[in-house]
């Protein structure tokens, strides 16, 4: 078989081993999957150099996937701690891990991550550029930025966030339309600053064909970053965000012409009543490309609880068409997440994804809930724990407050509705005050 990328194979009618894997995981007909990959409505991020990968599909009709952000920073350079997070994220079955390392031995960490991870791996190359070259931002050349992209691709990264849509035209729209929180995307802010300091075009936009050639060579999925995503509900669905989204749609078509798979990144912070419309806009303007949302956070007032504000928005977004959720932890806006923050973020995001899959009628999504409800009706505690999204926490809560009667809990005791309905429907007496 002669093909360059998953999309190229799909267009030529070939079935790859990655497609076969996704077909089995998702219980989707292989030919349907191939057609959707060919159309760009499903992506299978699978770098040719990521040997440990257990391929996943992202897009139309598939389970909503979640991503976990990790990585070292200048203030927190503990590689061993980040690797411990990686192991936990894999154990908790996160489908994707993004290495957002921005300081120190980024290559060492990235290579270890790719070597050990069956989850797809993403990066944001511009984060790495300053440390990689040990240069101030304004002194890095366009060619050097592109070389970092190629280095990440060579290392085996499956998808890369590249902020190609914040070009000079988008920047002018941003300048004319004042925002409360300006540009909150880290990569977007770095590129905007580079453009202003050097009075030049965004190198990733200007040399977009070179970026696509790199992606095609290694079969890297390009995640078109949303530099102008809203950083407050005040800035949601404004001129800058929509202008950039239009540009991302144009860039999507150009990528598909070169058989490069595309994910579109989205908001951000956004009021509940705007989310559904934003999902429709992305699918329309970007021709059905999979949508990867960062939240959206539905209120700005909950530092320490933004895993909750994000899960609310993520569930609504995915129910209305988003395909991929970036987790948010309780530490968002405050500090680098620790291991417990990461766990809470993963659980909250997985709940949002599953709730959305039920709403979208994803094949088999309701089966899990049916089994849990059956175990509850039967007062089968062990099965309930096994089915729980966080079995450890469920067992701990039960153990911390043990009831006198095993078929009850300390909330209702012998007034338990499940217990009493089971008894009465079997023609038995209900003894609430008497001992058995």
SS3 labels along 10-56: HHCCCCCHHHHHHHHHHCCCHHHHHHHHHHCCEECCCCCCCCCCCCC
Give the percent of the chain with pLDDT over 90: 90
Region 198-207: mean pLDDT is 98
Is 160 annotated for ligand binding? Answer: no
How do beta strands 291-293 and 324-326 pair? Answer: parallel
Q: Is 165 annotated as a binding residue?
A: no
Judge if 274 and 321 occupy the same domain. yes
CB burial string 409-430: b at 16+ within 10 A, e below: beeeebebeebbebeeeeeeee
Q: Where does the pLDDT of residue 432 fall: very low under 50, low under 70, confident under 90, or very high at 90 and above?
A: confident
Looking at the structure, tell me whether residues 291 and 186 fall in a common domain. yes
Tell me: pLDDT of 185 over 80. yes
The answer to whether 292 is a known ligand-binding residue is yes
Q: Is 265 assigned to a binding site?
A: yes
Answer yes or no: is 55 within a domain: yes
For residue 225, the Cα-to-chain-centroid distance in whole angstroms is 13
N-term to C-term CA, the chain = 71
Cβ 94 vs Cβ 29: under 8 Å:
no
Tell me which residue has tokens 């099965």: 383
Question: What pLDDT, on a 0 to 100 scale, did the predictor assign at position 436?
Answer: 64
In this predicted model, what pLDDT tens digit does every residue of 311-320 receive, in sequence order? Answer: 999 999 999 9
- Are residues 384 and 414 both part of a single domain? no
- The span from the CA of 52 to the CA of 200, in Å, is 40
Average pLDDT over residues 306-327: 98
327 annotated as ligand-binding: no
Same-domain pairing of 413 and 387: no
CATH of the domain at 184: 3.20.20.540
In the structure, what pLDDT confidence band is assigned to residue 363 with cuts at 50, 70 and 90? Answer: very high
Q: Does residue 58 share a domain with residue 113?
A: yes
193 and 269 share a domain? yes
Is 229 labelled a binding residue? yes
What is the distance between the alpha carbons of residues 213 and 137, in angstroms, rounded to a whole number? 25
257 and 223 in a common domain: yes
What's the pLDDT at 102? 83
pLDDT at 119 over 90: yes
Ligand-binding site membership of 228 (annotated): yes
Summary mean pLDDT of the chain: 96
Q: Is the pTM of this model over 0.85?
A: yes
Tokens 């993403």 belong to: 122
* 186 in a known ligand binding site: yes
The verdict on whether residue 397 carries a ligand-binding annotation is: no
Instruction: Judge contact between 229 and 266, C-beta under 8 A.
Output: yes
Residues 422 and 274 in one domain: no
Residue 1 resides in a domain:
no
- Per-residue pLDDT tens digits for 373-391: 999 999 999 999 999 999 9
> Considering the domain boundaries, does residue 290 fall inside one?
yes
Residue 13 annotated as lining a ligand binding site: no
**What pLDDT shows up at residue 32?**
98
Helix (H) or strand (E) holding 339: helix 339-359
| Domain boundary residue, one of 331, 359, 387 | 359
In a domain, 313, yes or no: yes
Residue 326 located in a structural domain:
yes
Give the structural domain span for 423.
403-436
Domain shared by 284 and 423, yes or no? no
Q: What is the pLDDT of residue 126?
A: 94
pLDDT 10s digits, 276-300: 999 999 999 999 999 999 999 999 9
163 is in an annotated binding site: yes
Please tell me whether 227 is known to bind a ligand.
Answer: yes
Residue 432 within a domain: yes
Instruction: Give the total residue count for the chain.
Output: 436
| pLDDT tens figures, 29-74 | 999 999 999 999 999 999 999 999 999 999 999 999 999 999 988 8
Is 127 annotated in some ligand binding site?
yes
Q: 98 a known binding residue?
A: yes
Q: Is residue 84 part of a domain?
A: yes
d(CA 166, CA 154): 26
Does 305 belong to an annotated binding site? no
According to the model, what pLDDT value does residue 124 have?
96
Say which residues have a Cβ less than 8 Å from residue 352's Cβ, sequence separation at least 6.
64, 310, 311, 312, 314, 315, 318, 325
307-321 per-residue burial string, b: 16 or more CB within 10 A, e: under 16: bbbbbbbbbbbbbbb
Q: What's the domain count of the chain?
A: 3
């Amino acid at each position: 078989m002669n093909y360059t990328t998953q999309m190229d194979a799909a267009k030529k009618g070939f079935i790859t081993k990655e497609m076969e894997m996704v077909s089995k995981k998702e219980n989707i007909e292989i030919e349907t999957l191939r057609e959707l990959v060919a159309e760009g409505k499903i992506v299978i991020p699978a770098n040719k150099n990521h040997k440990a990968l257990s391929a996943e599909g992202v897009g139309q009709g598939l389970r909503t996937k979640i991503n976990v952000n990790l990585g070292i920073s200048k203030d927190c350079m503990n590689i061993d701690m980040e690797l411990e997070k990686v192991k936990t994220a894999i154990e908790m079955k996160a489908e994707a891990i993004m290495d957002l390392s921005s300081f120190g031995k980024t290559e060492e960490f990235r290579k270890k991550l790719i070597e050990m991870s069956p989850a797809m791996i993403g990066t944001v190359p511009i984060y790495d550029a300053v440390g990689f070259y040990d240069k101030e931002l304004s002194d890095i050349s366009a060619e050097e930025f592109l070389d970092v992209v190629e280095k990440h691709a060579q290392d085996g990264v499956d998808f890369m966030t590249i902020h190609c849509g914040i070009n000079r035209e988008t920047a002018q729209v941003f300048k004319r339309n004042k925002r409360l929180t300006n540009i909150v995307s880290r990569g977007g802010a770095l590129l905007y600053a580079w453009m202003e300091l050097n009075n030049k075009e965004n190198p990733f936009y200007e040399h977009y064909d070179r970026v696509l050639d790199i992606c095609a060579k290694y079969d890297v999925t390009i995640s078109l970053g949303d530099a102008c995503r809203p950083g407050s509900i005040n800035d949601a669905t404004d001129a800058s965000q929509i202008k950039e989204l239009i540009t991302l749609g144009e860039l999507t078509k150009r990528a598909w012409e070169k058989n490069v798979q595309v994910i579109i990144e989205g908001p951000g912070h956004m009021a509940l009543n705007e989310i559904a419309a934003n999902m429709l806009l992305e699918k329309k303007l970007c021709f059905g490309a999979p949508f990867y949302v960062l939240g959206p956070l539905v209120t700005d007032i909950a530092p320490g609880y933004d895993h909750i504000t994000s899960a609310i928005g993520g569930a609504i977004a995915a129910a209305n068409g988003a395909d991929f959720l970036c987790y948010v932890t309780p530490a968002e806006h405050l500090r680098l997440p620790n291991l417990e923050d990461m766990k809470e973020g993963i659980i909250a995001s997985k709940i949002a994804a599953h709730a959305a899959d039920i709403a979208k009628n994803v094949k088999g999504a309701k089966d899990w809930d049916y089994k849990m409800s059956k175990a509850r009706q039967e007062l089968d505690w062990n099965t309930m724990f096994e089915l729980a999204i966080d079995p450890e926490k469920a067992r701990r809560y039960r153990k911390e407050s043990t009831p006198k009667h095993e078929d009850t809990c300390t909330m209702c005791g012998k007034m338990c509705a499940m217990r009493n309905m089971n008894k009465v429907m079997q023609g038995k007496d209900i003894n609430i005050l008497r001992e058995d």
